[in-house]
Structure 1
């Protein structure tokens, strides 16, 4: 471990630098996380936007409790008639795999990030919000060279970034997508962030940007109204706490799904270990398969049944009878005092239309198949999410913050890194870079190169359900991870699958 006092792990060098700058200026982990979020809007525009939602898992120094700030999106209060709604499919091309998403104004749920930032700041921040947005505002105005990874992401969702005049002006000026090395700037977003720091979250509700969101929705086939924006509330929740060995794992609670699914996977692996099985890739494959089956059977009730011990017998039976056979980013900050912030945020992939001249798209969460299959959603509820910002507390005082993007791969990516850290005792960097697998509900198994030979042979024997990837890929998430101990120091790792980076301060 490095002897640096604080550690940041994030999805872009600029995001990490913004957080580190605030730490160096005397801010705490939560100030730094807010600065990192604002920079992610600029530098990680495919993954994050003021038009989306997210979560903060927060641990304050000296406290044994952890709290979850839920500022994810709400479904609209009233659904418009289908013939009035703009909602249409596009295909994201990951290379070896494709995924269908829906965009248009009818794909947008009520955003919560602006309210979330100010809820975080009011409860936990120390520096003025004007200071916290400064790094992002400067980068958006001056511009910066587009990295090869961000340029690649532009090609993955090219149909979205080229859908409208507004998106083309930012991402494809002159009609051609920006490429690696080109200067990327977003002056409209710079103005929005400066304005947000001045006016607060009301800018996105009854303020000018809120009115622009409502007008766009009304005129271009969306569901959102002023009532949706003004009734939105950030929710403060107790995390789903799960014991794994001697560690306490704080996971995203319902109505989100990701935390419960990770807990089920951890419980299944513990049962395997108790029966004498090795916790290896074969075990992970079995745990992912069992988790998919549990999700199908129990749905939204999975977390409650886990917490009540109801599924213990089911897990044991599954162990005795084994089977034969989307855009998100994450920021971790742990400061010198042990305050820990794990923030996951997402805009989906964006709905394809810039809000006025404000430099950002609203989310397309109602077009995410893993969240709202076939446009099937209930009105006026907090949407469930796979996002799972996680904090692990160990008996010796070690604090670990981790999280990832990756749609329905979030739960399997976090599960694997957590197991690498807790069961195998790996260093953070090794735990993050180890090869991963992912099992879909239909049994299709994607896997990266570098697995043990016997496991790769077994997976390839699945035939049509085997999906080998030629190299590590963002498809398997980007589990940026930070770890802190008062005496041993800090270590961090940004996941190379999503160009992650870490910094110590």
Structure 2
């Protein structure tokens, strides 16, 4: 793994973008000759292909993939969570983002999350009913079917219902995650009913069936929005939250709406980048980082100097993220400024080409790394429609609470708000007034589904990884620009800097000892795995679960890349014939 990763990174750094002459370029295909899907679980990828084979488009397939991930990845996402869906309609050429981020209940005022000493109550902010926002994912699936799909919602949900009914093998990460969260999950009768059947906890290799979740999905399939947010499921959700000590109302549950937002769009070295807008912080951060970096040809630099410049761009973008970003329906975000070339030029001028900028010169408070939960999928269909979907329940198994009879594991996204200004959340991430909770407000997110396109190629890319999502997508974009293919991009080694703590964190194999020493000589603190840095306190773990698909319009070849760090993920390409 290390040798492959290092080779890919070196390849990415030295390979200059491929040049071509316009007068000799072959004709570009108008439509892909088939479809490509990459997701975090093979059953979800297969579900999407099944729906495409029945005449559905990328948006129908997205429903199938998303809902199946909600069944097979409860550790990362589910009907009790939310997400962002970046959509491209090939017929109209229009790009939109569906914002299905969870919203704050009216009862969840900041004082509810403080203990008797006025400090943040960690247990309440990440566990149980008070940690859960109103879910958005089911409403997004309904909206996708109604406004973008070809097939009835019931058809697109059928694979997820089948998998929930028949079950699937528990994989190692799912079992480990449950073991780490069992103390919390055992608190709630509805959760115990799902995860402790026959008195035994789930174990790797068990066939995990979820009949209550299958029933909830059937009600959603039959009745659309009302099948989840009202009626039987709605009543059970409200009762389960109340029984656990929380407070949701029928009005705010039934009043949830998916927002349609304009994506962030900008250019980078001949690529048109279309990416997530607020309440995602990812698109603005990407625009800032890439426009800072654009004048430098990173592909012609040695690894230490290219990494130094990328890290300095990361440092500045993450500083702005902390202070300026939140729900655009509640706060004024200086988006035009933060995404402008002039602003990027000003930030670039503060970067020394040979020396690190100490983060304490960009004053603020520390924001350590987030965890790896969340999931992403990428789709291109034979009409040229495409979807990048990133969805989550936040921490491992979200809040740990399943309202009895629903099978729906609720999120713990309330912790993504600044519940106490200037106080880190579970991941150490800070926030201030721009990201404080309020009735109906959406918490800030790092989810960054992204499209890249130029005359010759179209790419969909995204990943889980908390605050590291944005930098992983950044490195993926730089990898594509360097000429890597989809699978090479998915396998690229990763490093990250987020302003504070003032250090570069890196996977095993990302840097050689010599490159690490060169970065340290420039003034960077490099948090390397212990096997690469003498006395290093870092671990040898890897992070992320990047899923990407690519359409080469010159050869009309589709390809997919599924992160090799995730053994149950898959990328599949299948020919369905060209669109008429």
TM-score normalised by L of structure 2: 0.78
Query: Could you tell me how far apart the structure 2 residues matched to 1:188 and 1:219 are?
Result: 18
8 Å contact 1:108–1:222 — kept in the other structure? no
State whether structure 2 residue 407 is matched by structure 1 residue 378: no
Query: Could you tell me how far apart the structure 1 residues matched to 2:100 and 2:492 are?
Result: 31
8 Å contact 2:89–2:385 — kept in the other structure? yes
Residue equivalent to 2:141: 117
Selected match of 1:394 from 450, 454, 457: 454
Count of residues in Structure 1 that have an aligned counterpart in Structure 2 = 490
Residue equivalent to 2:90: 61
8 Å contact 1:253–1:303 — kept in the other structure? no
Residue pairs, 1:235-250, within 5 angstroms: 235-250=259-274
8 Å contact 1:8–1:16 — kept in the other structure? yes
What is the CA-CA distance between 1:216 and the residue it aligns to? 2.7
State whether structure 2 residue 560 is matched by structure 1 residue 492: yes
Runs of 4+ displaced beyond 6 Å: 83-87, 460-465
What is the CA-CA distance between 1:150 and the residue it aligns to? 2.7
Query: Could you tell me how far apart the structure 2 residues matched to 1:445 and 1:194 are?
Result: 47
State whether structure 2 residue 192 is matched by structure 1 residue 168: yes
Selected match of 1:316 from 343, 348, 353: 348
What is the CA-CA distance between 1:89 and the residue it aligns to? 3.5
What is the CA-CA distance between 1:41 and the residue it aligns to? 1.1
Q: Assess, with a 3 A threshold, how the Cα gap between structure 1 residues 226 and 85 changes in structure 2: closer, same or farther.
A: farther
Query: Could you tell me how far apart the structure 2 residues matched to 1:219 and 1:84 are?
Result: 19
Q: Assess, with a 3 A threshold, how the Cα gap between structure 1 residues 160 and 480 changes in structure 2: closer, same or farther.
A: farther
Deviations 1:214-239 (A, max 9, x none): 23333433242122112221111110
Residue equivalent to 2:57: 28
Residue equivalent to 2:10: none
Query: Could you tell me how far apart the structure 1 residues matched to 2:199 and 2:125 are?
Result: 23
Range 400-409 or range 311-320, more displaced: 311-320
Q: Assess, with a 3 A threshold, how the Cα gap between structure 1 residues 258 and 81 changes in structure 2: closer, same or farther.
A: closer
Residue equivalent to 1:268: 292
What is the CA-CA distance between 1:175 and the residue it aligns to? 5.2
Q: Assess, with a 3 A threshold, how the Cα gap between structure 1 residues 228 and 372 changes in structure 2: closer, same or farther.
A: farther
Residue equivalent to 1:351: 399
Q: Assess, with a 3 A threshold, how the Cα gap between structure 1 residues 81 and 489 changes in structure 2: closer, same or farther.
A: closer
TM-score normalised by L of structure 1: 0.89
Query: Could you tell me how far apart the structure 2 residues matched to 1:225 and 1:467 are?
Result: 48
What is the CA-CA distance between 1:49 and the residue it aligns to? 1.1
Residue equivalent to 1:437: 495
Query: Could you tell me how far apart the structure 1 residues matched to 2:519 and 2:339 are?
Result: 33
Deviations 1:55-99 (A, max 9, x none): 111111244331111111111234369569999646xxxxxxxxx
What is the CA-CA distance between 1:356 and the residue it aligns to? 2.0
Query: Could you tell me how far apart the structure 1 residues matched to 2:299 and 2:346 are?
Result: 15
Residue equivalent to 2:546: 479
8 Å contact 2:325–2:444 — kept in the other structure? no
8 Å contact 2:298–2:306 — kept in the other structure? no
Residue equivalent to 1:42: 71
8 Å contact 1:4–1:504 — kept in the other structure? no
Query: Could you tell me how far apart the structure 2 residues matched to 1:15 and 1:35 are?
Result: 7
Query: Structure 1 stretches of 5 or more lacking a match?
Result: 91-99
Residue equivalent to 1:502: 571
What is the CA-CA distance between 1:11 and the residue it aligns to? 0.2
Q: Assess, with a 3 A threshold, how the Cα gap between structure 1 residues 405 and 59 changes in structure 2: closer, same or farther.
A: same
Query: Could you tell me how far apart the structure 2 residues matched to 1:54 and 1:493 are?
Result: 21
- Report the 3-state secondary structure (helix = DSSP H, G, I; strand = E; otherwise coil) of the residue aligned with 2:38: strand
Query: Could you tell me how far apart the structure 1 residues matched to 2:233 and 2:510 are?
Result: 49
Query: Could you tell me how far apart the structure 1 residues matched to 2:323 and 2:346 are?
Result: 11
8 Å contact 2:38–2:571 — kept in the other structure? yes
Residue pairs, 1:403-442, within 5 angstroms: 403-422=462-481, 424-440=482-498, 441-442=500-501
- Report the 3-state secondary structure (helix = DSSP H, G, I; strand = E; otherwise coil) of the residue aligned with 1:498: coil
Residue equivalent to 2:25: none
- Report the 3-state secondary structure (helix = DSSP H, G, I; strand = E; otherwise coil) of the residue aligned with 1:497: coil
8 Å contact 2:48–2:62 — kept in the other structure? yes
Q: Assess, with a 3 A threshold, how the Cα gap between structure 1 residues 234 and 342 changes in structure 2: closer, same or farther.
A: same
Q: Assess, with a 3 A threshold, how the Cα gap between structure 1 residues 164 and 77 changes in structure 2: closer, same or farther.
A: closer
Deviations 1:464-496 (A, max 9, x none): 8624255452xx321100112344210101112
8 Å contact 1:109–1:224 — kept in the other structure? no
Selected match of 1:144 from 159, 168, 171: 168
8 Å contact 1:399–1:484 — kept in the other structure? yes
Deviations 1:166-220 (A, max 9, x none): 3233234455542221111111111111111001111222222122222333343
State whether structure 2 residue 284 is matched by structure 1 residue 216: no
Residue pairs, 1:332-371, within 5 angstroms: 332-349=378-395, 350-368=398-416, 369=425
What is the CA-CA distance between 1:161 and the residue it aligns to? 3.7
Q: Assess, with a 3 A threshold, how the Cα gap between structure 1 residues 130 and 466 changes in structure 2: closer, same or farther.
A: same
Selected match of 1:303 from 335, 338, 342: 335
8 Å contact 1:288–1:439 — kept in the other structure? yes
- Report the 3-state secondary structure (helix = DSSP H, G, I; strand = E; otherwise coil) of the residue aligned with 1:50: coil
Q: Which has the larger radius of gyration?
A: 2
8 Å contact 1:289–1:439 — kept in the other structure? yes
Deviations 1:13-36 (A, max 9, x none): 111111111112221111111001
